[in-house]
Amino acid sequence: MSSLSSCVMLLVLMFTTNLMAASAENFDRDCQVSYGGENVAILDGGELLTLSLDNTTGSGVQSNNNYLFGRFDMNIKLVPGNSAGTVATYYLSSQGPTHDEIDFEFLGNVSGQPYIIHTNLYSQGQGNREQQFYPWFDPTTSFHKYTVVWNPQRIIWMVDETPIRVFNNNEAIGVPFPNSQAMTVYTSIWDAEDWATEGGRVKTNWTEAPFSASYTDFELNACVYSSGSSSCATSTSTNSITGSEAWETQSLDSEDQEKLLSVQEKYMVYDYCTDYERFPQGLPTECKQPTLLQ
């Protein structure tokens, strides 16, 4: 049996027996430093992670496990004050030249000016699918929840439970969709002063370093992938799926669609699907498909 069908079978099993439960990840137990260990702090018994960037290095942490489908929640408080030039991230990625990747990146700004929530998707190594948004709140004064829902039909990016983006499975018309490579969950902070803030015009002010972002309430409801097979049983602790929808089949109901359209109308800064100059040969195939009502 292929790993995918065994995962799907497990999903069906868990769905029907209603055993779905979220697992609260512990940064000490369930993650490892990817780089810049001297700028990583794990506090509160593994519940809180801070990643810092200074003039020597950024830093990053990654999950020990790899996952094939799931719901991934992270609460993040971004670098306060002058964060220009800095980029904090929360993303999923597999390895290699044909890797898949689902991104949240947070592009800093000078004090009082808005961050940009940058999203992207790679499938089979092909990216160039950016959508960017201004947050409708100050992301530096308190924690906000950033969620990736990844199931075989679609990927949904959510902020505080509001869907901001959806990428549907359009394999039927030849658009690769991430559904066979397990991904690791990553968080990081790094310097991107050459492009992040106003396209690189505003540089990092290093006298204000270190720049720190905090991460907490990392919750997974996902299929752990190991040695060629996938297990979706996460834990039997309290069910903390918000709302009534299970991630395995999650789609956008009419209320979600309204929220998404409203966010895209009011807060979207960039959409690759309307960037005709960038794609003179024609927009990517998926851009010609309806995003909603699928």
Q: Name the token pair of 260.
A: 């998404």
46 is a contact residue toward ligand NAG (CB under 6 A) = no
Nearest Cα neighbor of 246 from 102, 71, 116 is 71
Q: Which of 109, 140, 181, 250 is close enough to bind ligand NAG by CB under 6 A?
A: 109
Q: Which of 107, 155, 183, 220 is close enough to bind ligand NAG by CB under 6 A?
A: 107
Residue with tokens 């996902």: 222
State the residue number with the nearest CB to ligand NAG: 113
113 is a contact residue toward ligand NAG (CB under 6 A) = yes
Q: Is 171 a catalytic residue?
A: no
Stretch that binds ligand NAG, among 14-22, 111-119, 143-151, 167-175 (CB under 6 A): 111-119
Please answer whether residues 75 and 175 qualify as being in contact, where contact means their C-beta atoms are separated by less than 8 angstroms.
no
Please answer whether residues 147 and 201 qualify as being in contact, where contact means their C-beta atoms are separated by less than 8 angstroms.
no
Instruction: Pick the catalytic residue from 25, 38, 105, 219.
Output: 105
114 is a contact residue toward ligand NAG (CB under 6 A) = yes
Give the Cβ contact number of residue 90 at 10 Å.
24
Element at 120 (helix H, strand E): strand 116-122
Q: Is 47 a catalytic residue?
A: no
DSSP class per residue in 173-198: GT---S-SS-EEEEEEEEE-TTTSSG
CB of 291 to ligand NAG, least distance (A): 24
CB of 79 to ligand NAG, least distance (A): 12
CA distance linking residue 246 with residue 244, whole number of Å: 7
Q: Which of 44, 161, 198, 258 is close enough to bind ligand NAG by CB under 6 A?
A: 198
Residue ranges binding ligand NAG (CB under 6 A):
55, 107, 109, 113-114, 116, 196-198, 205, 207-208
Active site residues: 101, 105
